[in-house]
Chains A and B, each alone.
Chain A
Amino acid sequence: MSVDSTLIYSRIVERYAHFFDRPELRLRFLNHTLAQQTASREKVDAALERFEFLKKTRFYEQLLRLWLYHLIFQELGKLLPTASKQRRQILTFKSRTPFTARVIFRCYQYRRAVYPVGLATLAVLLFATYYGVGWSARHVNTYLAQRYRSGQRVVAVVNDQGSVYAQASARHLPGYKPEKVWLVEQKENYERYSNGARILNDFETTNHARGYYVFKQGRELADEGVRHEPVGILYHTSESDMLPFTADNNASIETHTRGLLEYVKKNKSYNYVIDRFGQIYRIVRDEDAANHAGNSLWADSRGVYVGLNESFLGVCFETKTEADEQLTEAQTVSGRLLTQVLRSNYQIDDADCTTHGLVSVNPSNMRICYHHDWTRGFPFEAMGLSDKYQVAPVSVGEFGFTYDDEMVSKIGGALWPGVVAGEEAFNQRAGQSKLKPEELRRQMHTLYREQMEMQRAARATSTNEPEPSSADQKGL
């Protein structure tokens, strides 16, 4: 809540505080009313997150103020002596209570007498609100529709009105707003969060600081300068050896995990690893890039991200693509918890939580799926996320990366639905710009390389560190 509104609210509440002579009652009144108003405002703000412009209207402020009066009278009713004689005395003789406060409270007291009028007013107000919200939702929808019809880019969008591809599945899923999760306890070797997540840091290490651009159109940047905050999450598989998941294998499973952890720590491969028992390990700290997705692309409604080591957090599950059972129950639970923690810490949008296989590309032959972990079967819903297999990847839809039979058979014989949608979009775009798809593809290929170069240069100047080789350093 803004400092100014705190001040305005507190002034209003204060006028009524004089009704209370006893310190504990006054304290309770102030405390309750302000706390409730803050909570209500936070709720309304969260609900209106997508309609920022509404918050700037006077209507919004008026509504909150009305609500505050409601809270005040509710508290007054609860706390003032119930005997009406005493109440009258308070209202007449408390000279310190401002006149207007007394009058307004009187009106509230006799509200039942003016009930019919009140009801009618309320009805009008409600209708106006409904109409207003309806109008603005339509307005937003039309705006988005127009924007996407002009069809520059097919992306996973933050709000589900936007992408026709994300819509189909996302509509049936619960809201994906990041829940507020906070650090509860910080011990020497672990952190515990309010949602129950426990992050172990025995294997924590550092790497170079993050630094990346968001590209709007071509070489044009979405905003000034280099960004450093993680913007999304990529899920990986470790592709390490899997022993049968049974009790008598306990010791050997743990030995395998330890080997994996030491390996990924040495190579700074991911930001997090979730072992088969669901334990979450931090490897490369969040502020630093890990080497998990060298040549890669993703986009959201803000723009395009290239070379996602810099911009995305890498979360690796200890598992293998061919395994019968991809994730243990413990891994699924921990994956969900870790997702909540990271999304809450960095305000990561659902649209930016995807898998390595869906972002990885091979620029040397312009093919997608250079790495193919989680090109199918990732339990997005269990992680509290919408299904990114339905989203057209920007690599295909905008940059024109393709695939071949060999690759398709490698990923299990079928492509995910988003690729098909992406191909259509790309061809349409080529048509619109009166270019052969091949020509557009060549242009985009160059653009991809240029963007990677720009980003590399930006990072080198911002960190003054030698640049590691651009290829993925994943060896597992």
Chain B
Amino acid sequence: MEEKNQAPASKAETLSIKSSPVGLDIGTSRIVIADSPVNSDIRSQMNAFVAVPCSEMAENVLKQRGMVYERNCKNIYVYGNDTDFFASFLDTDARRPMHSGLLNPQEEMSQHIMQRIIQLLVPRAKRNEVLCFSVPGKGEGANGNLVYHEAVLKNFLQSLGYNAKAINEGQAVVFSELQDENFTGIGISFGGGMCNVSVSFMSMPMITFSVPKSGDYIDRNVVEVMGERNSTKVRLFKEENLDLSRQPKDDMTRAMHIFYEDVLQTLIERLRAEFKRSSQLPKVDRPMPIVLAGGTAKPAGFLQKFESMLRAGGEFPIEISDVRMAKDPLTTTANGCYIAAMSESK
């Protein structure tokens, strides 16, 4: 049996005990927690880790820098926000506990590491507080696994003492952004692993689905066509420099534009198809707004690109009032989960 050796927790939050509802966005790239109505209180951790063979030297470096890690007899694991630093220090790519919105079946450490990362953010519950966590919608390759994914996370969160409830990620976007419309409209989260959509009518999800293409898909394909070695570099370039409103000037940017358009095209086509297919949609008596959220929606010019591609496809099956960006795209899902958790609390 493995011997577990936990380094002393460096962050005070691990020790505290929680007594308010919690919203938790469990994303492919990042895990985000919202537990107060103040947006600046929202915290996050990268959902990634690096493993290195045990050595005294590596452990000393980690201790000196006060980094979170875990050691078993073979390896040292660095996870959460320290991952990027350590990965670039070792010049390797980080590993991911999740892939395309779900637990990564190729990664044997996935559950264990995710539990550790979640514990960095989520303290134990005091008395069975409500915790709403995000899960993706059904989609290509995400049906059976979805049940498993949800069940595993729910179990773990319950073991921390919470009354854990799963919320569809697109629906969380609606909860966070469409209060004035009485939660009627279309919420879309463009994340790392996938895009999640929910068409909501008066807070009830009518259509939900996911498309397994988003930020990671863009990174992966750009790496491939550009012959790059390391995807972290591509991702950082994208996050810092990409502006979709300007004509691309170099090959890397051009490739990014192409795959961004690919993602948007797939999503919009799917949205059209879902509307055509769905019979249980109430005759909505008003135009619906669309809200865009998630890290992949961050670059300048994204909203305009989305809108023009939406209009370019001809008449949409329902009337759209406006397309808008979420207030803070990186924390929208967590905030929506928090609102859901509050609404379910006594």
Contacts and interface: CB of A to CB of B under 8 A. Distances in A.
A31 interface: yes
Interface in B169-190: 175-176, 179, 182-183
Nearest to A31: B203
B335 to A, nearest CB: 9
B283 interface: yes
B23 to A, nearest CB: 10
B202 interface: yes
A330 B323 CA distance: 60
Interface stretch (B76-84, B232-240, B243-251, B337-345): B337-345
Contact of A23 (B175, B202, B285, B344): B175
B69 interface: no
Contact of B343 (A3, A4, A17, A31): A31
B285 A26 contact: no
A444 interface: no
A90 interface: no
Interface stretch (A5-13, A160-168, A390-398): A5-13
Interface in A126-167: none
A308 B285 CA distance: 48
A23 B203 CA distance: 11
Contacts of B343: 23-25, 27-28, 31
Interface in B292-346: 339-340, 342-344
Interface string B276-287: 000010110100
B182 A34 contact: no
Contacts of B258: none
A17 B183 CA distance: 11
B61 to A, nearest CB: 44
A7 B286 CA distance: 11
B202 A26 contact: no
Contacts of A30: 182-183, 202-203
Contacts of A27: 175, 179, 183, 203, 339-340, 343
How many A residues touch the partner, as a band? Answer: 10 to 19
B201 interface: yes
Contacts, number: 48
Nearest to B341: A24
B204 interface: yes
A34 B339 contact: no
| Residue from B175, B282, B285, B343 whose CB has the most chain A CB atoms within 10 Å | B343
A241 to B, nearest CB: 43
Which residue among A10, A11, A14, A34 has the maximum number of chain B CB atoms within 10 Å of its CB?
Answer: A10
B151 to A, nearest CB: 12
Given A27-B339, A27-B340, A27-B343, A13 B283 contact: no
A185 to B, nearest CB: 10
Given A10-B202, A14-B202, A17-B182, A24 B283 contact: no
Contacts of A6: 282
B132 to A, nearest CB: 11
Interface string A65-98: 0000000000000000000000000000000000
A78 to B, nearest CB: 11
Which interface residue of B179, B283, B285 has the most chain A CB atoms within 10 A?
B179
6 contacts: A7-B282, A7-B285, A10-B282, A13-B202, A23-B339, A30-B183
Which 10 A-B residue pairings sit nearest by Cβ, starting from the closest? A24-B342, A28-B343, A27-B343, A24-B343, A23-B179, A30-B203, A10-B202, A3-B282, A23-B339, A24-B339
Interface of B: 175-176, 179, 182-183, 201-204, 280, 282-283, 285, 339-340, 342-344
Given A11-B285, A34-B202, 6 more contacts: A7-B282, A10-B202, A23-B339, A26-B182, A27-B340, A30-B202
